[in-house]
Structure 1
Amino acid sequence: MFRETTVSRSIRVNTVLNVFDLVPRSAGQRPEEAMAASLELARRAEDYGYHRLWFGEHHLNPGVMGYSPALVMALAGSVTTRLRVGSGAVLAGARSALSIAEEFSLLQAALPGRIDLGLGRSPVRRPPHGKRPSAGSASAHTPRGRPPTQPLTHAARDRISTEGLLLPAAPDLSHLLASERYAATAELLAPPADSPPYAEFIDQVRSFLDHTAQVSGSPLPDATQDTDGTPQVWVLGSSAGESAEAAGRRGLRFGANYHVAPSNALDAVEHYRSHFVPHEHLERPTVMVSAEVLVADSHTEAERLAHGYDTWVHSIRSGEGAIPYPRPGEAAALTGDQRRLVEDRVRTRFVGTPGEVIEHLRVLQRATSADELLISTITHDPAARLRSYELLAESWDAKAPRT
């Protein structure tokens, strides 16, 4: 049950704005054009004054090319000089702890002081007894003796925080477990049967990075190079569960996923803070919260550019996989049931002029006391996406309220 927080909330002065990029493809856009657009976004994000640029990890999606965060980070880092580049997130289970540590140690050597390692739980779990998953069988895809993972849970009703943040009713997404795409992802990317629990996986990655790893009780020869510093580690989560608790207990930074799972984002942040234990490397809880944003010079233009978002989200939540983002006016209209499947994300997308969007971001910031905001923007025209980030950056310093 939702409990209204009694913690004093305030807008932080100069809260940091960051960019999140899926490396999306638009309808009619060639892969090389989509990649060029993302590299141009990296250059512009640095010029606009954003602090970080993070890339997601998504597989088997026709309209998304960001399936290798480390590789895209290297490309983005090569065309920028100051911008921090990171993963939002590298999925535990899609690769080993050692391979993640090696990749990010290499990035740290190439781009010292600019690397963020955001870790996330994979939604895919190894089926029982090593059996291969098959489409149409939800039980084949669930963890051994456990229910489906947290992102598939749903809230039955809207909630409003004391600051006015909408935490919408969320649909039941358990049907995704039976989709052919989920089955293929589970078969191709599921972790080994003996992979450790997620919290232990985080510890493994960090032990490789700080050269404290052991094998059978004996120190391991340095698995990664002795670079100048280590990547900044974040744990990302969508609910008040394992990820939030693991980040808090280890004194790590935490990222909450409002733009994809808005129903549970505030619960996730408060769960993290309630379990936070100060460490030498981080004395107080540090939170980043994501938001889906689209800014234009006029409200009418923003609404026009926003067209097709519901259809694009539906392609993901139906199990089809993200389609190339449709042109304005060409997206198929959704039926009532289809609309209800995506309503929570549509209602929590901040669309409008800079002033209108910033008002929404203020509420999100007050409700979560976020130290940083991670801004995701998607529309058909790459130039309109750049303009959205430019308008937001130009207006943020002037519009953000002071404590």
Structure 2
Amino acid sequence: MSTHTSPQLSVLDLVPVRTGQSSAQALAASLGLVALADRLGMTRYWFAEHHNMPGVAASSPPVMIAAAAARTERVRVGSGGVMLPNHAPLVVAEQFAALEALAPGRVDLGLGRAPGSDPVVSSLLRSSGPTADVERFPQHVRDILAMMRPDGARLRLTTGNLYDVRATPAAAGSPAVWLLGSSDYSARLAAELGLPYVFANHFAGQGMEQAVRLYRENYVPSEACPAPRTFLTMNTVVADTAEEARERALPQLRAFARMRTGRAMRPVETVEEALADNPDHVMTTTVEALADRWLIADPDSAAAELRRLAAAHQVDEVMIVPVAGSREDEPLDTTPGRARTLELLSKALAT
């Protein structure tokens, strides 16, 4: 890939909740953002799954995907991802087969094996029992793939009889399935199953290069995905000036730093709240270390860095996590800083 070639641009949304903002307002802001991504011609827009976090409203990807599909025309909508140990495979297959019927050819099912929450909430999510068996993750992925196919899956019962299971009664197509992960495990499994793969670079500290190399070296071609396919994820804040980008990045940098250092979580601060605080040494050094791994820049610098990263990792797509914070005087049902990131970066990559 040439360093002069611009990668395709996609979005991962955690649906952040800022100080004083209701869940309804946070959801409205994200649905406005996906409509903007659609108008800007972005490739895909995924919603994450996290639970019991005061600063994150992305707990139910299928609900958000359905709402996003109804408000868009061309962008692919999907999960980044559904945390499979929290859900019965048949339920996931039925939800995403229904989404595919609502938005044919536009649905991605990204699957992960992390809990997406703390141990207490994980136990509540898995109280039905069988879904808690993380060791069955590979088989559950295979089951979902089979059940979403138009011809469904055929199970052999203990009686010896065969039983047909279909996620929808008359499917015309299937969602695209991606495996997500932050370790070698998911990379190897995606290669074995012939599935596209994404390393969660936006929150993992290290390991992307090795995981992607293992994935590509061990890839077994499949009918749905004849060659290995992956892209890069990156926490991103783009503003008209580098100084504005740094200020907009600070609230989420501090939220990530609180999580990394075991501090109490809270709604995402406004820019003014973040700037007014006098952090201790641990918070300051953690924020600085995180900022070094994020893309925080003016439009031209950000576009140049994305082109460089895409070329270095041999990918033609970058999925940004737009993490720009809001200022106190900005409406609670919109997200101007994140919208500006998409607008400026899209324009800069097009030139």
**Alignment partners' CA distance in 1, 2:262 and 2:254:** 13
- Which residue does 2:203 correspond to in 1? 260
Which shifted more, 53-62 or 196-205?
196-205
Distance (whole Å) between structure 1 residues aligned to residue 313 and residue 156 of structure 2: 40
Q: 1:360 aligns with which of 296, 305, 314?
A: 305
For structure 1, which segment, 352-361 or 35-44, has the greater mean C-alpha deviation from structure 2 after superposition? 352-361
Are 2:69 and 1:77 aligned? yes
**What does 1:195-274 align with in structure 2 at a 5 Å threshold?**
196-210=135-149, 211-216=152-157, 218-239=162-183, 241-274=184-217
Q: Deviation of residue 31 (structure 1)?
A: 1.8
Given the alignment of the two structures, is residue 288 of structure 1 paired with residue 228 of structure 2, yes or no?
no
In 2: Cα distance, 1:12 partner to 1:279 partner: 31
Q: Distance in 1 between matches of 2:187 and 2:3?
A: 22
User: Deviation of residue 321 (structure 1)?
Assistant: 6.7
After TM superposition, the structure 1 = structure 2 runs for residues 122-161 of structure 1, keeping only pairs within 5 Å, are 122-123=114-115
What secondary structure does 2:207 align onto? helix
Query: For residue 336 of structure 2, what is the amino acid of its counterpart?
Result: A
Task: Give 1:62-211 correspondences, 5 Å limit.
Answer: 62-123=54-115, 182-190=118-126, 192=130, 196-210=135-149, 211=152
Question: Which AA in structure 2 matches 1:106?
Answer: A
Q: Do the aligned partners of residues 308 and 195 (structure 1) sit closer, same or farther apart at CA in structure 2, a change above 3 Å counting?
A: closer
Alpha carbons 2:153, 2:165 under 8 Å: kept: no
Post-superposition offset of 1:195? 6.0
TM-score, normalised relative to structure 1: 0.77
TM superposition shift of 1:224? 2.5
Residue in 2 aligned with 1:304? 247
Aligned residue number for residue 41 of structure 2? 49
Counterpart CA distance in 1 for 2:273 and 2:45 is 30
Residue ranges of structure 2 left out of the alignment (5+ in a row) = 327-334
**Does the alignment pair 1:22 with 2:14?**
yes
Residues 299 and 344 of structure 2 are in contact (CA less than 8 Å); yes or no, is this contact kept in structure 1? yes
Q: Is the 8 A contact 1:90 1:120 kept in 2?
A: yes
Distance 1:83 1:294, change over 3 A: same
Structure-2 residue corresponding to 1:392: 345
Distance 1:204 1:342 in 2: 41
Change (3 A) 1:340 1:264: farther
Give the AA of the match of 2:114. Answer: S
- Deviations for 1:316-363, whole angstroms, at most 9, x for unmatched residues? 334557532111131244333344555543211111111111222123
* Aligned-partner SS, 1:117: strand
**Superposition RMSD in Å:** 2.1
Whole-angstrom distance in 1 between the partners of 2:40 and 2:265: 28
Deviations 1:4-32 (A, max 9, x none): xxxxx755945221011111111121222
* Aligned 8 A contact 2:6 2:307 in 1: no
Q: Which moved more, 1:27-36 or 1:311-320?
A: 311-320
Deviations, residues 276-312 of structure 1 (Å, cap 9, x unaligned): 0111221111002100111111112112212223321
Q: d(CA) in 1 for partners of 2:45 and 2:264?
A: 24
Change beyond 3 A, Cα 1:205–1:107: same
Which stretch shifts more, 277-286 or 212-221? 212-221
Unaligned 5+ runs, structure 1:
1-8, 125-180, 399-403
Contact kept, 8 Å, 1:262 with 1:344, in 2: the verdict is no
Listed one character per residue, the Cα deviations across residues 41-61 of structure 1 (whole Å, up to 9, x for unaligned) are: 011111111110100000000
1:11–1:244: structure 2 CA closer, same or farther, 3 Å change rule?
A: farther
Q: What's the CA shift for 1:96?
A: 0.8
When residues 121 and 195 of structure 1 are mapped into structure 2, their CA distance, relative to the original with a 3 A threshold, is closer
Q: Secondary structure at the match of 1:263?
A: coil
**Aligned pair in 2 of structure 1 residues 322, 224: CA closer, same or farther (>3 Å)?**
farther
Deviations 1:243-295 (A, max 9, x none): 11111111111111111114111111111111101112211110021001111
TM-score computed with the length of structure 2 as normaliser: 0.88
Q: Relative to structure 1, is the Cα distance of residues 104 and 256 closer, same or farther in structure 2, using a 3 angstrom cutoff?
A: same
Flag the structure with higher helix content. Answer: 2
Q: In the alignment, is the contact (CA less than 8 A) between 1:10 and 1:369 conserved in 2?
A: no
- Code of the residue aligned with 1:304 in structure 2: it is E
